[in-house]
Amino acid sequence: MPTFLITGAAGFIGRSIAAALLARDESVRGVDNFITGKAANLAGLERMQFLDGDLTDPVLCERACAGVDTIYHQAALASVTRSVEDPLGTNRNCLDATLNLLVAARAAGVRRIIYAGSSSAYGENLVLPKHEAMLPDPISPYAAAKLAGEYYIRAFAHVYGLEAVVLRYFNVFGPYQDPASQYSGVLAIFCQKMVRGEEPTIYGDGQQSRDFTYIDNVVHANLLAAAAPALRVSGKAINVAVGVRISLNEVVEILRDLTAYNGRVVYGPPRQGDIQDSQADIRLARELLGYEPMVDFREGLRRTVEWYRRTVLQPSNQAVLI
C-alpha cells in the first residue's frame, strides 16, 4: 500500500511533490480528475499508483485514502477569475472535495494531511507583509472556499486528532504550470507568450505585486511539513513564499531580458476580485518547519522560461520530459 497520497497529482504542484517523493523511493498514490490536471504532467511518474477520479465522490475518496499515512492535498480549481464566474464549481472542487477527503482520511486512519492553502485568504488587508496572526479577509469565492477548507482541516485536527498542516502558498510558479487557459497563473501565461513573441496583457496598471514563489520552494516546504513534529505544526497555518514582492511591470522587464521579447505590452482593465499587493512574512515557516527559500524569484523565472522554451514551442503544446 502506498504511504503517501497526492491529490491533484496531474496538476503542476501535485506532480512536482510526487516527483520529489519518487526520487526518494517513496511509495506514492496520486489522484486527479483532469479538470485542470494534464495527463502529460504524469510523464516520469510511472512508479506512482494513479487513480483517475473525482474527490467529490466519497467512494473514490475511500479508495484513495486506503492504507495511506500522509496526504498532500493539492487538488483544487485554482483561479480567482474562474471562481467569480462559477462559484459553485469552485466550491465543489475546493471545499466539498476537501470535506469528503477529510471524512475518508479519518475513516482510513490517515495520520497526517498537508493542505494547500492560499495567500488569497489575506484579501485586501493593506498590512504588508502578511503574517499568519492576521485576520483573514477573503474577497473572492476562491479565497472563501480555500479558507473554509483550512477551517475544516483545523477542525478535524481538533476534534478527531488528525494531524493537519496548512501551507498558505503565495503565487506558485514553475515548470509544468499550464499556460494555456484563461485561468492560468500570470507567469505561466507571460512566459508562454513572450517565449513565442506574443504580446502579454497586464490587467490594471501593472503596479500590483505578488510574492511569486518558485515550485521547488513549495515542494521543500511540503516535505518539511510532513516530517515536522505534530506538536509543533498540527493545526497551524504557515505561509510558504519567498518574502519578496515583485510588481507585474517588473516581471515583464525581467522576462524581456530572459526571453529577448521586445514587443509591446497591452494594458487592460483590472480583474474583479483581484488584490493589489501580496507579500508574505515567512518567519513562522522558518521557526516551525526550518524552511528557507531555496530558489529566488529571478533564478526560478530563468528555469521556468527555459522549460517553456522547450515545451511551448512544441507543436502539440504538450509537456515533454526534461
What minimum distance in Å lies between the beta carbon of 62 and ligand UD1?
28
Whole-number Å distance between alpha carbons of 187 and 304: 9
Quick check: 49 binds ligand UD1 (CB under 6 A)?
A: no
Applying CB under 6 A, what is the total number of residues that bind ligand UD1? Answer: 22
Quick check: 170 binds ligand UD1 (CB under 6 A)?
A: yes
Whole-number Å distance between alpha carbons of 215 and 157: 27
What minimum distance in Å lies between the beta carbon of 192 and ligand UD1?
10
CA dihedral 233, 45, 80, 237 (to 10 degrees): 0
Is 233 in contact with 288 (CB distance < 8 Å)?
A: yes
| Helix, coil or strand: residue 55 | coil
160 is catalytic: no
Query: Which 105-124 residues touch ligand UD1, going by CB under 6 A?
Result: 118-120
Each residue 5-44 as x (binds ligand UD1 by CB under 6 A) or -, in order, gives ----------------------------------------
Query: What is Dmax (Cα atoms) for the chain?
Result: 57
* Of the candidates 73, 11, 38, 26, the residue with the CA atom closest to the CA atom of residue 215: 11
Whole-number Å distance between alpha carbons of 130 and 17: 25
What minimum distance in Å lies between the beta carbon of 161 and ligand UD1?
29
Span from 1-9, 65-73, 167-175, 309-317 in contact with ligand UD1 (CB under 6 A)? 167-175
Q: Which residue's beta carbon is nearest to the bound ligand UD1? A: 120
Residues 55, 71, 97, 186: which binds ligand UD1 (CB under 6 A)? 186
310: left (phi over 0), alpha (psi -120 to 50) or beta: alpha
Span from 100-108, 166-174, 253-261, 289-297 in contact with ligand UD1 (CB under 6 A)? 166-174
Residues annotated as catalytic are 142
